[in-house]
Amino acid sequence: MRKNTGNSSAATGKILRLALPIMVQNLFSAAISSADVIMLNYVGQSSISAVSLAVQYSNILYMIYYGLGTGTSMLCSQYWGKKDLTAIQKVEGIALRFAAGISILFFLAALLFPGTMMRLFTNDEEILAIGTGYLRIVSVSYLCWGFSEIYLSVLRSVERVKISMVMNVSALMINILLNAVFVFGLLGAPRLGAAGVALATSISRGIQLIACGVVSSFSRDVKLRPLSMFEKNPVLLKDFIRLSLPALGNDIVWSVGFSMYSVIMGHMSSDVVAANSIVSVVRNFGTVMCYGISSAAGIYIGKEIGAGQIREAEKDASLIVRLTVLAGILGGLLVAAAIPGVMAYASLSEAASGYLRTMLWINTYYILGTAVNTTMICGFFRAGGDSRFGFICDTIDMWCYAVPLGFLAAFVLKLPPMWVYFLLCTDEFVKWPWVLNHYRQKKWLNNITREDF
């Protein structure tokens, strides 16, 4: 018994050492969204609403990069367990190829058709004008973002989480400082409002990519090599497509589906949009621990599976589930504790303030549903090469249940906005029986490395 307790304590320590830098990184990422809302709060409610809608495209792109990154990690973390650096470098090149293509596509769309993109979310002319300007400026950041996200994913896969954290946190701090400069016109800069947020984002993404290049030049093993995109390796490419594309599809399906929630609320009233923009920021803080543990789970379990330690991976997954539930509960309590301060701070209309309070209370328990599903689908299952389950699960949940239910409730039954929001927030709990059953079956514990590629 003492031996098992000692093993559990050691595993917990290793998992937390991986998770904590990721949590810090997620915390600063949430701080960026918070800083945007705080600064735009002094500009006006329309600016908050416009940026919250326009940034949905960044959220979709982030989920695409996250899908590519976790798909990359599926292979890289297991090859790291085998200490096969050659395979890791080739997988990085394949991932960069996909990221570059997607980055260019989003860049051109946001640069050339920002108005059309905004009209999917709202018909309010003032919000449309602000959002269109934001998208056109922020489009430049898309060209840099893909390369840096893939490289940072590879660094995390080989347990270089501290380096990854320092680079991300540095870029985020620069973003916050530049936000203040361009939003309020400090240091002689023009007062740009919402457009200043976009400009700050583009500059900070460029700096982050430069930082990746500097770190790569000093790294003895894992390097950022854009030319590796053009290297051919049919075997690893086939593995990457087979394993990563379902993960990518999963994140696209989920992120686009979640963005449809904003479409639904955006066509209900501007008060709902404004309230939701603040709720999203608070929820991001509440999920910091959950997503940190999920990312650490993928790295840690993947490494064990790649090293052939299947029994250890199974035991440690059980431990991580308990940590995830605890993180979900703590995240919900954090949101509850923040409600008085958020309500006192928010400069919203009376109707929007009422929506905000209700939406925050709903998120006190919604975070737990998100925590469990994210750790299992994006952590455990992908670590063992099982990315198809999450793709199928989220496709059915989002597009056969949540999104149709939201449209039905809002535009057919014409339910009050908060009833619509409550129904949308049942999506994570509907998945639980299916996800937990798949976890117990243990079909996801697979070694996906090759001896000869």
241-257 per-position pLDDT tens digit = 888 889 888 888 887 88
For residue 37, name the pLDDT band (cuts at 50, 70, 90): low
Cα R_g (the chain), whole angstroms: 21
Q: Which two tokens stand for residue 21?
A: 């830098």
Q: How far are the Cα atoms of 118, 266, 268, 291, 417 from residue 123, in angstroms, in the given order?
A: 8, 9, 11, 34, 18
The residue behind tokens 């686009």 is: 256
What are 126-157's pLDDT values in tens digits? Answer: 888 888 988 999 899 898 888 988 998 899 88
DSSP 229: G
> What was the pLDDT predicted at 259?
80
* Burial grade of 435 (CB within 10 A; 0-12, 13-18, 19 or more): buried
> What was the pLDDT predicted at 3?
47
> What was the pLDDT predicted at 438?
96
The percentage of the chain sitting over the pLDDT mark of 70, rounded to a whole number, equals 95
What's the CA gap between 373 and 371, in Å, rounded?
6
The top-scoring range by mean pLDDT among 124-128, 266-270, 275-279 is 275-279
The top-scoring range by mean pLDDT among 124-138, 203-217, 272-286, 420-434 is 420-434
| Average pLDDT of span 5-11 | 68
Contact 373, 402 (CB under 8 A): no
DSSP 167: H
Say yes or no to pLDDT of 10 above 80: no
Contact 229, 237 (CB under 8 A): no
| Average pLDDT of span 167-175 | 84
Cα atoms in the Cβ-side hemisphere of radius 13 Å centred on 141: 25
For residue 406, name the pLDDT band (cuts at 50, 70, 90): very high
What's the CA gap between 191 and 437, in Å, rounded?
54
Write down the mean pLDDT value for the chain.
Answer: 87
The percentage of the chain sitting over the pLDDT mark of 90, rounded to a whole number, equals 39
Please report the DSSP string for 53-79 in residue order.
HHHHHHHHHHHHHHHHHHHHHHHHHHH
Say yes or no to pLDDT of 329 above 90: yes
| Average pLDDT of span 350-375 | 94
Question: Which residues, 6+ apart, have CB-to-CB distance to 443 below 8 Å?
Answer: 386
> What was the pLDDT predicted at 108?
94
What are 40-68's pLDDT values in tens digits? Answer: 666 767 787 788 788 778 877 887 887 78
Query: What backbone phi and psi angles, to 5 degrees, belong to 426?
Result: -95, -5
> What was the pLDDT predicted at 32?
60
The sign one gets for the Cα dihedral 100, 103, 105, 107 is negative
For residue 69, name the pLDDT band (cuts at 50, 70, 90): confident
Query: What backbone phi and psi angles, to 5 degrees, belong to 250?
Result: -60, -50
For residue 2, name the pLDDT band (cuts at 50, 70, 90): very low
> What was the pLDDT predicted at 189?
82
Say yes or no to pLDDT of 377 above 90: yes
What's the CA gap between 313 and 78, in Å, rounded?
12
> What was the pLDDT predicted at 1?
42
What's the CA gap between 43 and 37, in Å, rounded?
10
Q: How far are the Cα atoms of 1, 200, 280, 360, 428 from residue 417, in angstroms, in the given order?
A: 53, 34, 16, 14, 19
> What was the pLDDT predicted at 103?
92
Say yes or no to pLDDT of 218 above 90: no
| Average pLDDT of span 164-168 | 85
Q: How far are the Cα atoms of 47, 136, 338, 344 from residue 341, in angstroms, in the given order?
A: 22, 34, 6, 5
Name the residue among 282, 28, 276, 347 with its Cα closest to residue 176: 28
> What was the pLDDT predicted at 101?
92
For residue 380, name the pLDDT band (cuts at 50, 70, 90): very high
| Average pLDDT of span 319-343 | 95
Say yes or no to pLDDT of 113 above 70: yes
Contact 290, 375 (CB under 8 A): yes
Contact 422, 264 (CB under 8 A): no
Q: How many CB atoms lie within 10 A of CB 261?
A: 20
pTM, to two decimals: 0.78
The sign one gets for the Cα dihedral 241, 243, 244, 249 is positive
What's the CA gap between 275 and 20, in Å, rounded?
30
Contact 300, 79 (CB under 8 A): no
What's the CA gap between 74 and 382, in Å, rounded?
6
